[in-house]
Amino acid sequence: MKCKHCDKLLKLSQYKQNDTWKSCPNCSRANGQMHVFYRYPDKFGTTAQRSSPSHPEGAQSYCTCCRSDKVADLSQAKTCDQI
């Protein structure tokens, strides 16, 4: 499924505003319309195992709520058209 705003796949993380916002693929798929972004790295966390050349800090793919099976706090989220 693709984002209705940017036409990129919802299942792939996107970064915005100099990597200060990151989309959660799980929340984005649940939204079904657009990418759902949270502050990065605050709402994601990092780990050395996920380190890559483009993101050496090792960003987690899913937000902390999705990784802990909690309901995401969408009041702190922005959709693709808001960023």
> How many Å apart are CA 46 and CA 9, to the nearest integer?
23
What does the pLDDT read at residue 6? 97
Within a domain: residue 39? yes
Q: Is residue 31 included in any domain, yes or no?
A: yes
Q: For residue 72, how many C-alpha atoms fall within 13 Å in the half-sphere facing its CB?
A: 25
The model's pLDDT over 12-68, given as tens digits with 9 standing for 90+, comes to 999 999 999 999 999 999 999 999 999 999 999 888 888 888 877 888 999 999 999
In a domain, 55, yes or no: yes
Enter the pTM of the model.
Answer: 0.90
Q: Count up the domains in the chain and report the number.
A: 1
pLDDT-based confidence at 71, cuts 50/70/90?
Answer: confident
pLDDT for residue 69 is more than 90: no
- For the chain, the first-to-last Cα distance in angstroms comes to 20
